[in-house]
Structure 1
Amino acid sequence: MARGQLSMNLATTRGAWGFAEAVDGCLRHGVTAISPWRDQVAAIGLDEAARIVKANGLRVTGLCRGGMFPGVDAADRQKRIDDNFHAIDEAAALGADCLVLVVGGLPGSSRDIAEARKMVADGIAAIVPHARSAGIPLAIEPLHPMYAADRACVNTIDQALDICETLGESVGVAIDVYHVWWDPNLAAAIARAGRMKRIFAHHICDWLVPTRDLLNDRGMMGDGVIDLKAIRAMIEAAGYHGPQEVEIFSTENWWKRPGDEVVKTCVERFETVC
């Protein structure tokens, strides 16, 4: 598999590098696609980040992240929508393939997950016109159910696709293996996404056994239990042949290692186990 099909989500090198250093490091290892986080872009400035992207001919496979739509009241929800408008503008300035949406969980002390999901659908609907005018597809990223309360009340590809069906072709899904590998309906859901032409991104890492921290102990590809090749085959059979984006949160392992070691290992594992 060619390195050109590998994208580096800059969360993976967060422990060692900022935006500019990460770009330089990726280029040293032949990686020419990245997906930065908004705080990393803000730290160097949007104009400078865009200049670096353009000067190096980089592909930006996504910007992380928009979303977090549920709020405790109408004013809070509008504040979140306004932040998503800014995120869309940032994605457009970087020439990103999509804006990744981590949709948000239960607001405040709420126990009403159905209402939270309605807020998500309404929030995405509110930003779709701006996203379309900016030319930025919106990629809903369903998260593992363990995050339903605080990070994402959309937890399966099918739930995300149900939202997509109501909002048009500019809204799709980001399929992150860490969050969906367990789903018994995974193959059918990926096939459905393919029929709808809504697969906008494919994120990879691995699920460790044991996992010491459910947020910040993701594994390097090949170190865990996810059948990465099988999921890639499903996604490609569904018609998506874009980059695979390595996204690893790892406070006690990979974030403690030199950035060059991290990227070198990502490239090696991508070429052997993905």
Structure 2
Amino acid sequence: MPEPQSYLVCASQRSGSTLLVESLRATTVAGNPEEFFQYLPSTSRSPQPRQWFEGVTDEAVLSLLAPLEPGVEDTRTAEQWRDQLLSLGRTPNGVWGGKLMWNQVSLLLDRAAGLPHRSGADLRSALDDVLGTDITFIHVYRPDVVDQAVSMWRAVQTQVWRDDATPPAPNDGAEYSAEGIAHLAGILRDQERGWREWFAAAEDRSPLEVSFTDLVADPQATTAKVLLALGLDPDLAPPPPLKRQSDGRSREWAQRYRAEATEKGYPL
């Protein structure tokens, strides 16, 4: 029997990857792509707002973030973890889809370390041991890290990561902080560098490149391109299932941050 087909969307937060994976999910034939590798074993939760700011001592930043919640320890074995994510991510036609952020690589490596009959200890080996060797990589990236960091700064404050209906409310409670945005811009820039260096290191993982700019401009056409690369019917690409969250306040914050970054040496 041929090995089931798998694809992995490789990205960083607020890059547009959720719009792409939700569009692929809506086809009902392109797997059920979720961010399976984001959950911390100690809490069974994705990283909480303050965990993005470990090492930051500025109370003006930390006071804008929700306190940590304890969560529940994940007691699944490595094999149970793998079997569950394979089941959840696959559609009946055998296609599996998932999403991996660069900051989650260490979590994936730690989880995969407990699997029997490992083929190696590096990231590609971990992916092969979890997903099989027939993996299509899709790299979603956002060219403007400032806009990306502003979007993430609002999201970590409000804990609203997606919008199925309307743009964010002007009074969502988020407050501007150049220091908070700068911290996230540095993280996001490092994540993008990590993906690009990893892809460049070996020809067997050359990805399909998807720009945030193209994705937002024409989500349906971009999804069709991805479906075609996966050997699936591009005509199944749906209208965008999510609304874009950016608004005038995000644009104002980005403009304000750029002016301050030039003066203070923050990441751009």
TM-score of the superposed pair, with normalisation by structure 1: 0.33
- Which has more radius of gyration? 2
Structure with bigger strand share is 1
Structure with bigger RCO (C-alpha 8 Å, 6+ apart): 2
